[in-house]
Chain A
Amino acid sequence: MIIPIELVNHYPWLPSRKKHYSDISGKDPSDKDPIEFISEVFSKDFGIKIKERLLILFNAAFENLEEISDYKIDNLNIYVYLLLKILLYALDNRIITNRVANLYSKIAYSELKKENDSNLYYICQDLGLNIKYYDPPINYGIIRVKEQHQKLETNFALYFIDYLKLASTLRDEYRQLVHNALSQGYVLIQNKRLIRLIQEYVRNKLLLNETKDKVSLKEFLKKILEIKDFKEVYDKITEAWTERKEEFEFVFKIDFESKENILELYPPCVGEILRKAKEGRNLIHNERLFIVWFLLALEYPVEEVVDLFSTMPDFDKEKTYYQVNFAKKKKYVPYKCLTLKSLNLCMAKKYNDELCLEGYFSKELGDRKNVTHPLRYTRIKQYRASKEKNYTKKQLNKKNE
């Protein structure tokens, strides 16, 4: 099946781009020589427009906007998308990548919402999704909202494997397979939710653009920055980022009274979430709840807990304040170890943490106990740290005497 070229222009992340634009896609950043492609793009009449569009995109991402009001979808869209990928690769900044990927995917979502079923079906097919289309729509139930009845019906059914692959990074409760209508291997899914899954596909497509090979990256950067127009865009973006980065970059302001390295006092489950937050990676709902409840239980100020979320791709300061304050008022208790295990948030084995895995000796000699709560872990680590400190102090005093 050949997808109409208009759809490829509109959605350049579609795999068919490579078929329709083999001349362009040959210059993807992952390919051998993108330099020629970049020079060619900027040498054309529309080079200036592309520069503008790229800067609008990055600035909007730094402003944490959810959409760009006059975002243009035309034939240049494909160049913007490919250059965007090159820029993200060159910038090699996880927080920027997350922000841009988030915004770009939201734009895709808004656009996809305007599509008719036929185009949506084409798009899913092009993405290689195993999808069925029902006409007339299939009825799969009724929900009651207050006194209103709402019929659940859809034209689309998505193969459960594809559903899981698209939905697993989202992991909102209502998206879990157990809460969906699954029949004969297909999840009956309404357009809006299907589009949300495609949005996630687009986001991941941009996130996959990171490299571990820093040497090659450095060489690549050196070469592309020789292209004047590209350098201009790159410099403007880094300049804008420098101005704004303090607002986003993870600064763990919270400090324990004793000024120790607080991360060492936390169990690996907490450390993992903090690391993810630092890298600007999306946290799932349960991770967010847990970290907020954990930090509040340790009496961290609300402002500083809110700061932790500032790197999230969907950060909204006002909402976060409200939610953290609400959690504080309710005095929620952070999950215990057993719950963390069932939610797959326990990181004891991943980090081979001795205290988590082997427990500790209580005052009763020879009685080894298991750590059953992350707060207990922190208390034990605090206790050990203070004992060690006192010992060192005593040793120093002895030496001085």
Chain B
Amino acid sequence: MSDNEYLKRLFQAYYKENRSEITYVSRFEQREFGYIPWDNQIIMNRHLSFQNHESLIKYLIEEGPRHVYSSGALYLKPDNTDMDNKIYQGCDLIIDIDVDHFYTPCKEDHDLWICNSCGKEGTGMPKKCPNCGKLKLKTINWICTNCLDVAKNEIFKLIYNFLIPDFGINLDQTKIAFSGHRGYHLKIENEDIRTLSSEERREISNYLSGEHISFEILGWQKRVDSIFGPFKDNIGWTNKIMKKIEDFLKKPYQEIHDLLGNKNKFNFNESQVKAFLNLKEDILGVLNDNSRNTWPSYGFGVDSWYKFLKGIVHEIGVEIDIPVTIDIHRLIRYPGSLHGKTGFRAQEIYPDELDDFNPLDEAIDKLDPIVFKSNKSQKLIITESKVPLTKIKGESYGPYNKDEIIEVPHHIAVFLLCKEVAKTI
């Protein structure tokens, strides 16, 4: 039996024994479904629909697919293969936060890459090979509590800094789910929002992420060698930026120094950092004095200010995967289904459960995405040149090297097999 066949049977058994864990999404019969089977080639099969929840469960037990998705959109004919003939009825607002798409410091420890052209290896998330400049890199992306906490923090920012205060979204209409891998999905089921076009959703995406902000429109003005700022009480993004600057300036000296110099944050050189720190008290003074609006710029010119403002916007904005939000026909992972890259359950969580939720070491059983946990051990052989350290349920496994034979608990074995870095022996 191949490893894919083995995983398929495990997934089938899971669905059979945990029928009640498979979520029933609203307007179920109007959703399009899609799945990826356990074939060597990853091909998505779309345009499916189910008349009722029971038929979906039956299907999952029979097929045990690698990945299962359903649409955010509602259709009168969800199984029609022609998108134009599905008869679109609206779409939930989907927000995807996935650490695949943004930098976290822990990636320097656990995300591996190897250049397909020159063979150079390294860690982190470079856009191209630092050695030969080619773009085609093979990557092994891992997960850890740190990066999942970063993703969770983005969900908090999204809800409490944007959705509730700015958009007035009711949490009762909001569904949050751990994706089963590297992030979270947030779905808003609201009849008004369902009517929004893709272009209108882009406006919301831009608002949440701070993309395409014009500082001039928000009230900053460049004048030769000085910059005039807006009032901090202006409602909207201006207020968010001004508050963030004030908070930033109140941080300890060394912390400001490090953040400004950090190449993944503000990326200023040492002389610019020093110039900014020299102006720190002056800037705070201007921010708290409504009669002054000329921001000090000695040694920290207009361009540096704009770079700083962009960095601040980046800190405030939510790291959302914009194409997911604006694509009204996108399929998203079905809540309660298993993720074929980890074997973890895509776990729905109530907003008030989110704070304590820890996907890699969850204390509450019904919220635990690691469904194959067992003390029974299993032997595997490592197939990749390097496999990063995995820390699940408080225990660390690895790092491993190619051809290493390991004996690990069942849930770790499932995880490594799903990650395709090991084989059964």
Contact = CB atoms under 8 A, between A and B. Distances in A.
Contacts of A160: 167-168
B234 A142 contact: yes
Contacts of A152: 234
Contacts of B230: 141-144
Instruction: Bin the interface of chain B by size.
Output: 35 or more
Interface in B120-148: none
- The 5 A-B pairs at the shortest CB distance, nearest first, are namely A185-B168, A141-B234, A181-B235, A164-B200, A184-B168
Contacts of A176: 203, 206, 212
A144 B219 contact: yes
Given A160-B167, A165-B200, A178 B213 contact: yes
A186 B192 CA distance: 14
Contact of A141 (B197, B228, B235): B235
Question: Does more than half of chain A's interface fall in helix, strand or loop, or is it mixed?
Answer: mixed
A344 interface: yes
A144 B169 contact: no
Nearest to A172: B217
Interface string B200-241: 101110110011111001110100000010110111111000
Interface in B182-201: 192-193, 195-197, 199-200
Given A142-B231, A143-B219, A144-B293, A178 B200 contact: no
Given A174-B217, A183-B236, A344-B202, 14 more contacts: A140-B234, A141-B233, A141-B236, A142-B233, A160-B167, A165-B200, A167-B203, A173-B217, A176-B206, A179-B213, A179-B218, A181-B234, A181-B235, A183-B165
Contacts of A144: 219, 221, 228, 230-231, 293
B21 to A, nearest CB: 34
A342 interface: yes
Contacts of B326: 344
A173 B213 CA distance: 9
A182 B219 contact: no
Contacts of A183: 165-166, 235-236
Contacts of A188: 235
A162 to B, nearest CB: 9
Contact of B196 (A164, A181, A182): A164
Nearest to A149: B231
Contacts of B214: 173-174, 179
Interface string A149-167: 0001000000111001101
Contacts of A392: none
Interface of A: 140-144, 152, 159-161, 164-165, 167-168, 173-174, 176-186, 188, 342, 344
Given A144-B230, A144-B293, A176-B212, A164 B236 contact: no
A256 to B, nearest CB: 33
A5 B236 CA distance: 38
B71 to A, nearest CB: 19
A42 to B, nearest CB: 40
A182 B210 contact: no
Contacts of A342: 211-212
A161 B192 contact: yes
A364 to B, nearest CB: 12
Nearest to B169: A185
B167 A168 contact: no
Given A160-B167, A168-B199, A178 B210 contact: yes
A188 B212 CA distance: 20
A186 B235 CA distance: 12
A160 B192 CA distance: 10
A208 to B, nearest CB: 15
Contacts of B168: 160, 184-186
Contacts of A167: 203
B219 A168 contact: no
B235 to A, nearest CB: 4
Nearest to B231: A142
Contacts of A180: 236
B207 A177 contact: yes
B199 A344 contact: yes
A161 B217 contact: no
Nearest to B167: A185
